[in-house]
Amino acid sequence: GLNDTRTNRQIYFSFTLLVYFFTLFVNLTLIMTIVFENILHEPMHIFLCNLCVNGLCGATAFYPKILMDLLADSHMISYSACLTQIFVIYNYIFCEFTNLAVMAYDRYVAICRPLQYYSIMTPQKVGKLLVIIWLIPIFETTVGMIMTAKLPLCGSKIDKIYCTNWEVVKLACIDTTLNNLYGYILMFLHVFQTFLLIMISYIHIIRTCLRSQVEQSKFMETCLPHLITLINFTLSVIFDVMYARYGSKSSVQALRNILTVEYLVVPPLLNPLIYGLKLKQIRCSVAKMENSSKEIIFTLTGLNDTRTNKHIYFVFALLSYLFTLFANLTLIATIVLDKVLHEPMHIFLCNLCVNGIFGATGFYLKFLIDLLSDSHVVSYSACMTQTFVIYIYLFFEFTHLTVMAYDRYVAICRPLEYHCIMTPRKVGTLLLVAWLLPFCEANVGLILTLRLSLCQFKINKLYCFNWDVVKLSCTDTTSNNLYGYFLMLLHVCQAIFIIISYIHIIRTCLQSWEEQSKFMETCMPHLITLINFTLFLLFDVMYARYGSDNSLQTLRNILSVEYLIIPPVLNPLIYGWKLKQ
């Protein structure tokens, strides 16, 4: 399906990645808003939250593979990976239909039988409906997968940009009547029976709404988003099913691609937006988070000891930032422009430098402004933005160093298999994980912080940090604490993985001088970076949570900015110095 996109694929990749990030952001925002706002713990909002979770599942089944294919020259997929993608996508489709049907029933009860709403839509009833929403699609998809997995295949070419069940069934060497019949049964159950149930519900809803202006207003607010979602999703799924079975291959490939991915791209992006815009309670909850922070101005007290000689500090900080940009951009440009360096290790190093620029920019720009200013203040939105950028930098750095440790393990302990294991597809997958995981981690942490009411506005640091903002809260911060410990545990697991990798590497290196030379050239820079970054980050996290404010401010400042300043400038230098190529 991607044969027509060999040109401009970097543009397609960038646009697709941005859409995926935005899809993750809007869905996670709506999910977290509903979860943490007690006023939104109503059946309609619970079903909406479920719809967003399903949207994330569907989008994640599609985007990572298409992003890898946009960067690869050959667009291949293993049989097991193809069946996995089919399973997740079909489960997403069936769950979406079932959830929309349940939401139609909920709206029918709310508008046509308002006085009985809470006696009908009890917590037990809502729980049963949620179980049905997930179990029926899983059962239907599992049966379909078992039937497909039994087929012997004679072909291996799928004329699409992702795997679908029918495309695999068409490759079978034997009779597929049973698969056809099961497909028609599912089509009848979901596209016709579910759609019919929804239409009957809406006939009753519209008849009720015609009686009063109040009911018409409720219809426009709660039912219109549901109808938009339903019509858009149903039409795009029907088109894809009909075209896959009866369509002609002579139509333009690019047009077919757009129409066949519509239900995987648009609903996960559209649902949180239209429900967020139309539902008053959700708008109010999001607005409440924004309004509670609108007038908040934080004071950064970390620079109180630098009122004298601040111009000297400014010049030194500016030169450090410019040198950091120069060193990283030089290494990035060298790797990008020299084809001999298009190896996994150098690609990972290039990404490490990109992240270094990202993290340094998140810190230096505000710090330079503060050095020239008499008052060191920052708005709430700017503080949250800086926190978000710094956290992505931290999580990415650690995840990326883990990936680089794995790369060195394969290169030294399994050198003959290196290029079979570290294929372009594997490298692309690792890069996606290295960027997406930190983005999700930082996004969830930020949403947890945004919901907090603050009683104080003084941050005893040079820059905004999540825990320093959480400490200013008037409300319970148990969720933030637990999430912080969860992240700590996750990255401790990564550290254990790195240690295990290096135990194997060192054992292998002891066997020959050649391996010891390779270790000194490629692993020593990685170890220096890892130890430096980990120790100072650990100090800052421990000090922020358990440290005393009585210690020397200047010493605290130096130790708390070390991992933001040193790694971005050290990485390109030590790798550029140690790596022969």
d(C-alpha 236, C-alpha 252), whole Å: 17
Mean pLDDT across 126-130: 92
- State the chain's mean pLDDT as an integer: 81
Edge to edge, the sheet with strand 458-459 lists 377-379, 297-300, 458-459
Task: Note whether 425 and 444 are same-domain residues.
Answer: yes
Give CA–CA dist 130/53, Å, rounded.
12
How far is the CA of 382 from the CAs of 33, 441, 463, 465, in angstroms?
21, 19, 11, 12
pLDDT score at 88: 92
What does the chain come to in residues? 581
Q: Tokens 């939401």 — which residue?
A: 103
- Cα 118 → chain centroid: 36
pLDDT of residue 5: 57
Cα separation of 400 and 522, whole Å?
A: 15
DSSP-derived pairing of the beta strands 458-459 and 377-379: unpaired
DSSP class of residue 423? -
Same domain for 260 and 304: no
Distance in angstroms (rounded) separating the CA atoms of residues 348 and 354: 10
Nearest to 358 by CA among 453, 434, 415: 434
Confidence band of 170 (pLDDT split at 50, 70, 90):
confident
Distance CA 109, CA 111 (A): 6
Contact 8, 59 (CB under 8 A): no
Residue whose C-alpha is closest to residue 191's, from 235, 243, 139 = 235
- Is residue 352 domain-shared with residue 490, that is, in the same domain? yes
Do 220 and 271 belong to one domain? Answer: yes
Q: List, in sequence order, every residue forming a beta bridge with 153; answer none if it has no partner.
A: 172
What local confidence, expressed as pLDDT, does residue 164 receive? 86
Most confident of 56-60, 232-236, 272-276, 466-470: 56-60
Domain boundary among 263, 293, 323: 293
CB 233 within 8 A of CB 96: yes
> What is the tens place of the pLDDT at every residue in 187-196?
877 767 777 8
pLDDT at 381: 82
Sign for the pseudo-dihedral over CA of 570, 576, 578, 579 = positive
Taking a C-beta distance cutoff of 8 angstroms, is the pair 398, 359 a contact? Answer: no
Q: 398: pLDDT confidence band, cut at 50, 70 and 90? A: confident
How big, in percent rounded to 5, are the helix, strand and coil portions of the chain? Answer: 80, 0, 15
The CATH number of whichever domain residue 94 belongs to comes to 1.20.1070.10
Whether 18 and 77 map to the same domain: the answer is yes
Indicate whether 291 pLDDT > 80. Answer: no
- Do 256 and 304 sit in the same domain of this protein? no
Tell me, what's the pLDDT at 57? 92
Does 79 or 238 have the greater pLDDT score?
A: 79
Residues 329, 275 share a domain = no
Q: What is the mean pLDDT of residues 164-193?
A: 84
Contact 406, 426 (CB under 8 A): no
Helices (H) and strands (E) in the chain, counts: 22, 3
Asked if 438 and 355 count as a contact pair (C-beta separation under 8 A), the reply is no
Phi/psi of residue 2, each to 5°? -100, 15
Q: How far is the C-alpha of 138 from the C-alpha of 223, rounded, in Å?
A: 27
Q: Report d(CA 580, CA 346) in Å as an integer.
A: 12
Please give the pLDDT value at position 12. 80
| pLDDT at position 10 over 90 | no
**Structure token digits, residue 397:** 């750095």
Q: What angle do CA 228, 233, 239 make, to 5 degrees?
A: 130
10 vs 359: which has the higher pLDDT: 359
Q: Is residue 388 domain-shared with residue 267, that is, in the same domain?
A: no
Pair 50, 3: CB distance under 8 Å: no
pLDDT at 249: 64
Q: Give the whole-number percent of the chain exceeding pLDDT 90.
A: 7
Domain limits at 255? 3-293
The pLDDT of residue 330 is above 60: yes
Q: Specify the number of domains making up the chain.
A: 2
| Cα separations in angstroms, 484 against 380, 448, 478 | 21, 11, 10
Q: How would you label 461-493 residue by residue, b for 16+ Cβ within 10 Å and e otherwise?
A: bbbbbbbbbbbbbeeebeebeebbeebeeebee
Cβ atoms of 89 and 264 closer than 8 Å:
yes
Residue 51 has pLDDT above 60, yes or no: yes
Q: What angle do CA 364, 366, 368 make, to 5 degrees?
A: 65
Task: Return d(Cα 110, Cα 43) in angstroms, integer.
Answer: 10
- Identify the residue with better confidence: 577 or 194: 194
Please, what's the largest Cα pairwise distance for the chain? 88
Block residue for tokens 């795997």: 163
Say what the pLDDT of residue 456 is. Answer: 80
**Confidence grade of residue 541 (pLDDT, cut at 50, 70, 90):** confident
- Strands (DSSP E) found in 254-307: 297-300
Which stretch of DSSP H or E encloses residue 143?
helix 123-149
Residue finishing a domain among 238, 267, 293? 293
DSSP letters for 5-43: GSTTHHHHHHHHHHHHHHHHHHHHHHHHHHHH-GGG-SH
Q: Does 565 have pLDDT greater than 70?
A: yes
Considering 273, 293, 313, which residue would you say is the last residue of a domain?
293
Is residue 314 located within the same domain as residue 234? no
Output the CA–CA distances (angstroms, integers) from residue 438 to 183, 287, 322, 433, 487, in the order listed. 39, 26, 26, 8, 10
Amino acid 139 reads F
Global model pTM greater than 0.85: no
For 294-327, write each residue's pLDDT tens digit: 557 888 876 765 556 777 888 888 899 999 999 8
pLDDT in tens, 359-390: 999 888 888 888 877 778 888 888 888 899 98
Among 177-181, 204-208, 318-322, 426-430, which is the least confidently predicted range? 204-208
The larger pLDDT score, comparing residue 38 to residue 577, is at 38
Quote the CA–CA distance of 58 and 90 in Å, as a whole number.
Answer: 9
> Are 61 and 207 in the same domain?
yes
For residue 115, what pLDDT is reported? Answer: 86
pLDDT at site 129: 92
Q: How far is CA 340 from CA 61, 331, 386, 568, 580, in A?
A: 34, 14, 37, 24, 12
Residue 439 has a CB neighbour count (10 Å cut-off) of 19
Kindly compute the dihedral angle of the four CA atoms of residues 28, 31, 37, 42, in this order, to the nearest 10 degrees. 170
Tell me if 501 sits within 8 A of 406, measured CB to CB: yes
Identify which of 126-135, 195-204, 208-217, 233-242 has the greatest average pLDDT.
Answer: 126-135
| Same structural domain, 204 and 344 | no
In this structure, the answer to whether residues 368 and 429 fall within a common structural domain is yes
